[in-house]
Amino acid sequence: MTQRKVISFETIRVACKNCTLSQLCLPMGMSPEDVDRLDSIVKRSRPLHRGDHLFRSGERFRSLYVVKTGSVKTYTPSEEGGEQVLGFHLPGEIIGLDAIDQDAHACSAKVLETSAICEVPFQRFEELAASIPSLQHSMFRLLSKEIGHDAEMLLLLGKKNAEERLAAFLVSMSQRLSKRGLSPTDFYLSMSRHEIGNYLGLAVETVSRLFTRFQDEGLVKVDRKHVEILDLHSIETIAGAAQAAGSRKHSN
Partner DNA sequence: AACCCAGGTTGACATGCATCAAGGGTAAAT
Partner DNA sequence: ATTTACCCTTGATGCATGTCAACCTGGGTT
Which residue ranges make up the site for its own copies (CB under 8 A)? 76, 78-84, 86, 97-102, 106-107, 126-127, 129-131, 133, 136-137, 139-148, 150-151, 153-155, 157-159, 194, 197-201, 203, 242-244, 249-252
* Smallest separation, CB 83 to DNA (Å): 13
**Cβ pair 137, 177 in contact under 8 A:** no
Tell me whether residue 203 or residue 230 sits nearer to its own copies (CB atom): 203
Distance, CA of 48 to CA of 29 (rounded, Å):
29
- The option from DNA, its own copies, none interacting with 140 (CB < 5 to 8 A, set by class) reads its own copies
Tell me whether residue 76 or residue 247 sits nearer to DNA (CB atom): 247
- Torsion from C-alpha of 76, 55, 13, 18, nearest 10 degrees: 60
Tell me whether residue 48 or residue 207 sits nearer to DNA (CB atom): 207
* Smallest separation, CB 68 to DNA (Å): 22
- The option from DNA, its own copies, none interacting with 234 (CB < 5 to 8 A, set by class) reads none
- The option from DNA, its own copies, none interacting with 207 (CB < 5 to 8 A, set by class) reads DNA
Bridging pattern class, strands 116-121 and 83-89: unpaired
Q: Tell me how far the alpha carbon of residue 3 is from its chain's centroid.
A: 40
- The option from DNA, its own copies, none interacting with 198 (CB < 5 to 8 A, set by class) reads its own copies
118 by Cβ neighbours in 10 Å (0-12 / 13-18 / 19+) ranks as buried
* Smallest separation, CB 234 to its own copies (Å): 19
> DSSP H helical segments within 160-200, as ranges?
162-179, 193-200
Which positions ≥6 away from 21 have C-beta within 8 Å?
66, 68, 91, 92, 180
> DSSP H helical segments within the chain, as ranges?
8-14, 32-41, 122-131, 133-159, 162-179, 193-200, 204-216, 232-240
**Cβ pair 138, 30 in contact under 8 A:** yes
**Interface residue list for DNA (CB under 7 A):** 161-163, 192-194, 201-209, 211-212, 222, 224-225, 247-250
- The option from its own copies, DNA, none interacting with 82 (CB < 5 to 8 A, set by class) reads its own copies
- The option from its own copies, DNA, none interacting with 106 (CB < 5 to 8 A, set by class) reads its own copies
* Smallest separation, CB 197 to its own copies (Å): 7
Q: Which amino acid is at 174?
A: S
* Smallest separation, CB 184 to its own copies (Å): 21
* Smallest separation, CB 196 to DNA (Å): 8
- The option from DNA, its own copies, none interacting with 153 (CB < 5 to 8 A, set by class) reads its own copies
Distance, CA of 178 to CA of 93 (rounded, Å):
14
Rg, Å, the chain Cα set: 20
